[in-house]
Structures are given as C-alpha cells and as structure tokens.
A and B are shown apart, each in its own frame.
Chain A
Amino acid sequence: MSLINQRFRGPWTLFKKEILRFWRVSFQTVAAPVMTVLLYLLIFSHVLGGRVEVYPGVPYTVFLIPGLIMMSVLQNAFANSSSSLIQSKVMGNIIFVLLTPLSYLEFFLAFLAASIVRGLAVGFSIYLVAICFIHLPVTHPLFILGFAVFGSGMLGAFGIIAGLWAEKFDQMAAFQNFVIMPLSFLSGVFYSIHSLPEFWQKVSHLNPFFYMIDGFRYGFFGQGDISPWFSLSVVLVSFIALSLITLGMLKAGYKLRG
C-alpha cells in the first residue's frame, strides 16, 4: 500500500460511509424524491400543460423537468450533509469521527463529495424516469453537469453549516422549511422570472437558487432568462464563499469541539 493511498484512506472512508448511509435508506433518499417529482409533473402538466408555453416551442411539461430535477438535486445535496451531521450530533456518534486524525479539510471534502453524489444520483434517477415519458433535449451537457456539480456542492456546504449550527431536529426542520424550500420554490422552477412583475424579477435575482435553476435549464434548451456564464459565475462564487465559511466553522470546531 503506497503512502499516498494511506494518506487519503481516512477521508475516503468517511466519504464511503456517508454514501452507504444514504444508500442503506435509498427508498427514502433516492426513490422518494423521484416519486415527488413525478407527482409534481403529473399535476402541473395536467393543470397547465397546453395552456402555458414559457419558451417558444417548449411545452410546459418539458420546461418543468429540468427545474424539478435541479430543485431535487439541490434539496437532496443539502439533506445529505445536514441530516447526517445532525443525526450524528444528536446520537453522539459524531465522536467516532472527532477522535480520529481526520483534518477539518478532509472532513469537509468527504461530506461535500457525498452530498454531490447524492444530489447527482437523485437528479440522474429523475432524468432517467422522465425521459421514459417525455422527450427532453440536451443542448449543452457540460452546463448541465457543471450546474449540477457546483449547485449540489454549494448546497452540500450549506448543509454542513446547518448541521453544525442546529442542535436539534426541530432547528434543522426550520432551516429546511423556512430557508431551503422558499428559496427553491421561488427560484423559477415552475415559471420564467420574465413572467413576474419587475419588482419580483429583481428580488429573484437575489436568490442564488434562481441562477442554478436557470443555468441548468439552459443546458437542456439552450435558452434561459439570463446568460449561463453569469449564472455559473454566481454559483461558483457562492460555492466558494459557503465552502470558506464551512471550513472556518470546522477549523474552529464550531459546536463540535468545546
């Protein structure tokens, strides 16, 4: 066994454990989000399909899918790191990781990577199910991948922050329901922000989820509300900023090491 392999075995183990943790309950962590999205699709396409056309030549049901995929990617990436941390803290088993020589950076990378994997696994599963019923064009696959990876990374980091901050499940639920849900529902998943009054369009530009959804959707249709490069820059800057905050909290041992 080379030294390099041994060096990375610690964070690799933590990453593997985090992957197994959500995979052991994959009905809840992967299948359930797919089902939720299918229900959204069924209801919205039934109610609005044929009446609304957001982009020229793109039926509403097709328009919906990328936004719903990205919303699920983001919510699940957040749920992965945040739920793992809060559970470990409440149950006390976080001590098993804290007693090890893993550095704060290794801890961060393992949790972040696992969040990205869960986000992508959920997103890809929804995509596979969706294309069984609906033709979904893929215009810029690299944009799709880029927004999915950095978006889930950003929410993975945000999940670590929430998991560190929260001391009970109630606080975590508040974070999920009062921060993540409104930001994702008001990000243009179900509409183009051009359909909003000017004031609300400006408000939408303050929501980082809007850039992730719009950029991701651009990857499919080649059209969006704003430039995908600008969206990608916003996502990257937000990802880096949140990562730095998370690293700072981990380095300080915030609510982990007294």
Chain B
Amino acid sequence: MNPAIKIEQVHKQFGALKALNGVDLTIEQGEFFALLGPNGAGKSTLINLLAGLSRPTSGKLSVMGYDVMAQYGQARHALGVVPQELVFDPFFNVREMLRFQAGYFGKGAENDAWIDEVIESLGLTDKAGTNMRRLSGGMKRRALIAQALVHKPPVIVLDEPTAGVDVELRHMLWEFIKRLNREGHTIILTTHYLEEAETLCSRVALLKQGEVIALDSTKNLLASMPGKKLRLKLAGVLPASLKEMLRQQEHYDYTLSLNAIHQLEYVLAELRNANVFVEDMQLIEPDLEDVFVDLMGRK
C-alpha cells in the first residue's frame, strides 16, 4: 500500500533563504498527522509543495504514490487542501462555488448528492444559496473545508483550520475532521493550538527552520518529557533554594519544573523550612506544548 504522503529530501530555496532543508517524511494512509512548528518553520511551504502551488528546488513529493510534479493530475485528485487564509470568490454563492470546484475535478451532477451531504455535515444548509461575501468568518471557514472535500480526496490537508474560530465552531470542526478520519481519510493538520494536535493527532512532526527536528507518535513525544510541572499558590515568597526550578511566576503563583516525582518532597521540605504556607497545589503532566518548547529551545 502506498503511503498517503511521501516526502524525500525536499529542499526549497527562495533566493538566499532556505525554507526547507532536506525534509524526509512519510505519512501512512489513515493517519491523523500534525505538522507543527513556529512561524517560518516551513509548514506552509511544505503544504504548498504538496498541493503543487509551489515547486521544490530539489527532492520528491508524492500523494498516494503519485508524484506531485510528473503525475500532478492524479496527485491533485487525491488531495484536498483547506487553505489558511479566508479566500473566496465574491461572484458566487456557496453551492455554486462547490459545484464549480467539483467540476474542475471532472465531477458533474452525479456529485450533487455528495455536495449536499458535505453542506449538511458542515452546517451550511441554511447558507447554501448565500453569496460568499455575506458569510461570517466562521461560515467562510466551513465553506473552505467543504470546497476541499467536494472531489472526495483520500488525503486532506488542513492548514490552521481553527485559526480565529470560536470555541463552539472549533469543537464542531474537530468532530467533523475526526469523522473524516474514522471514514478512512488521511488527515494532515497544521495548527498553533498544540492542545488540538495533542487531542486529535496520533503522530506529530516538529519543524524548525526548514528541518524536521522530531517525528514520533504523540504518546512517545509526551513520554520523552520525564518530569512534571508543579503549580503552587504560596502565602509568601518562593525560597531562593527553589529558584532554579522556577518556570513561571505571577505574583505568588509559581510553576516549578520537576525532573522526577521525588523532587516534590524536597520542594515541600524547603517550603516548610522557609515557613512559607502552601495555599494551593497542582501537579501537571507535561503536554505537547512542553515538548514543543523543550525541543525548539534545545535544537
């Protein structure tokens, strides 16, 4: 079985800037994959290369086994891309736009039932006849997702799909994307909400300055952070002996980093010795954000 996405030694240069520097990545069919990294890490460049919006300086990319350059027709049939920007065609309504998009992929009236299904699933039924200009930002986002799905692609790339979206819509989109994944679609997600990647994605690639600096399952990445965080609300000032462990401070709220759980005893002993009372305490498991911050700082 061909992988959903295969990226081999891809370099992309814009003048002197190396946007991608030898990226290798394989995403299997059916995966829910997160592509993470700070701004300028190369996530969007990589998506553009996959979608054929940009051409690699060197290297190979394929979608469902089809080379994105040599077999662009088949590769683009296999790929649905939800762009990051809220772009739309102001001349048409939602249904017209979806029909046109399906038509570009060679699909006609026989595809209308699927278009209706997508419209309904995304809560766009009431807006199907509304001009794109008149839709709210959230509705435009839904329409963009619908547009990426009209030709039933097996691989779907969502570039920051929940950016600027309210909580309710974000959860609705999560559910919809999870359903697509359950139905067999491969999902590739870029997001700034790390909790989103942690909740949804089974595997994560971290990009930094055009290179993949971590590629593993979400579980393994989380397990790679052995320590825990200790959040304390104190009645006084944190003793100097604990300053080395301090991660964050806001008034008398402190977040300490514990390398191992037995350090908790040491912290409490130091507080007792300094006569500082603990008003509240919380032990927190590391999350993807910690992994992200750690890796970005380390490499």
Q: Residues of A at under 8 Å CB distance from B?
A: 1, 5-7, 9-10, 12-14, 16-17, 20-21, 24-25, 88, 91-93, 95-103, 253, 257-258
Contact = CB atoms under 8 A, between A and B. Distances in A.
A31 B85 CA distance: 35
- The SS class assigned to the A binding surface is helix
A30 B48 CA distance: 38
B103 A258 contact: no
A14 B104 contact: yes
B269 to A, nearest CB: 59
Contact of B103 (A12, A21, A25): A12
B108 interface: yes
Nearest to A110: B104
Contacts of B54: 257-258
Contact of B106 (A7, A99, A258): A7
Contacts, number: 86
A101 B55 contact: no
Interface in B97-140: 97, 100-101, 103-108, 110
Nearest to A106: B104
B87 A9 contact: no
28 contacts: A7-B106, A9-B103, A10-B106, A13-B103, A14-B100, A14-B104, A16-B100, A20-B91, A20-B92, A20-B96, A21-B91, A88-B89, A91-B89, A93-B89, A96-B97, A99-B76, A99-B81, A100-B76, A100-B104, A100-B105, A101-B72, A101-B74, A101-B76, A101-B77, A101-B105, A102-B104, A257-B53, A258-B53
A81 to B, nearest CB: 15
Interface of B: 14, 48, 51-55, 72-74, 76-77, 79, 81, 83, 85, 87-92, 96-97, 100-101, 103-108, 110, 147
Contacts of A95: 53, 83, 87
A253 B52 CA distance: 10
Given A93-B87, A96-B89, A101-B72, A9 B52 contact: no
A96 B90 CA distance: 13
A91 B91 contact: no
Contacts of B108: 1, 5-6, 9
Given A92-B87, A101-B72, A257 B52 contact: yes
B91 A9 contact: no
A243 to B, nearest CB: 22
Nearest to A84: B91
B53 A91 contact: no
Nearest to B89: A93
Contacts of B79: 99
A258 to B, nearest CB: 4
Contact of B53 (A9, A12, A99, A103): A99
